[in-house]
Amino acid sequence: MNLAISKERKTNLLEEYKEALQRNTALVFTAYSGLSVKQLEDLRNKLREIGGEYFIVKNTIVKRAFEEIGLPEPEGGFNGPTAIGATAEEIPSLVKTIVELSKEATTFQVKGGYIDGRLVAAEELRQLADLPPLPVLKAQLLGVFSTPASQVASVMAGSLRQLLNVLQARSEAEGEASPA
C-alpha cells in the first residue's frame, strides 16, 4: 500500500498551512499519538467553540511552510506525529484547553508554540494555562487598587467627622456663652 501523497496535494497542504500560520496569533504544537478519535473530535469541538482550530500536519510540509513565511522552526516541535492548535482570538482558552487534555491523557504532549510571533516553551504554556481567567484577574487587580483608596476615604471621613464635632461643640459653646 502506497501512503505517498501527490505533488498537487502537497502544494495544497503547504498553502493551507501557510494561511493557517499567518491567520492565527497563537499556535500550540502537540504530540497527539495515543488519543482516541473521540478525544480528538472533542478537542476540535472545544477549540471551535472559542474560535480556534486543531489540525494534524505533515512535518516536512509544515517545516517548509514555516520557512516560506519566515518563522523560525521550533526546536523539536516537529518530531514525531504533530498537530497544531491555533487561534487568533482566545489565546488563554486555547492554551488552557490543550494543557488540560495533556494532564488527562498522558500520551498527549504539549511541545511548545508561538504567541504573537514569539516562540514559547511548553513549560511557559503550562504556566499560562494555570492563570485564572481574565475577568478574575481584572477583579483581583481592581481589589488591590480599591483597597488603599477605600482606606484613605475612611480616614478622611473620620477626620471630617472629628472636625464637624469640634465645630459643633464650639458653636454650642458660643451659643451658651452669648447673653440671652
> DSSP secondary-structure letter at 35?
-
Which string of DSSP letters, residue by residue, matches 165-177? HHHHHHHHHHHHH
CA–CA distance, 156 with 76 (Å, rounded to integer):
60
How does residue 30 score in pLDDT terms, banded at 50, 70 and 90? Answer: very high
How does residue 152 score in pLDDT terms, banded at 50, 70 and 90? Answer: low
Q: What's the whole-model pTM score?
A: 0.72
Query: Residues near 58 by Cβ (< 8 Å), separated by ≥ 6?
Result: 5, 10, 13
- pLDDT for position 49: 94
In the chain, alpha helices (H): 7-23, 37-49, 59-69, 91-104, 122-130, 134-177
CA–CA distance, 139 with 20 (Å, rounded to integer):
34
- pLDDT for position 147: 65
In degrees, rounded to 5, the angle at the alpha carbon of residue 64 between the alpha carbons of residues 59 and 68 is: 150
Grid coordinates representing 19 are 494561511
